[in-house]
Amino acid sequence: MGELSVSARKEEKELIISVSDTGIGMTPQEQKKLFEAFYQASGGIKGKTPGTGLGLAITKSIVEKHGGKIWMESEGLNKGSKFTFTLPI
């Protein structure tokens, strides 16, 4: 079973929130498309990621409309992922 961690910190005039997991991770090619509407990364237990591929595109839009930024980091397949976003305060 994987692990999930959430962290938050304040830096000057912004809040920085990160969510990390020890899940399937992503290839560099997948990372480039991740925030596009309807994009679904391959993988998972049965090779199909559930969902519509809209969640991260919507999240990016909301974060940016509030003046923030969002990005994702992964060292590759089976190495987990880290999603971070900022919001001005």
Is residue 46 a contact partner of residue 54, using CB atoms and an 8 Å limit? no
Q: Is the pLDDT score of 1 beyond 70?
A: no
The rounded distance, in Å, linking the Cα atoms of 41 and 16 is 25
Distances (CA, A) of 12 to 25, 55, 77, 87, 88: 31, 29, 34, 11, 9
* 3 state SS for 35-70: CCCCCCCCCCCCCCCCCCCCHHHHHHHHHHHCCCEE
The rounded distance, in Å, linking the Cα atoms of 50 and 77 is 18
Q: Please report the pLDDT score of residue 43 as a whole number.
A: 58
Task: Please write the tens of the pLDDT for every residue from 62-89.
Answer: 999 999 999 999 998 889 999 999 999 9
Task: Please write the tens of the pLDDT for every residue from 4-46.
Answer: 999 999 999 999 999 999 988 888 888 889 999 998 876 554 5
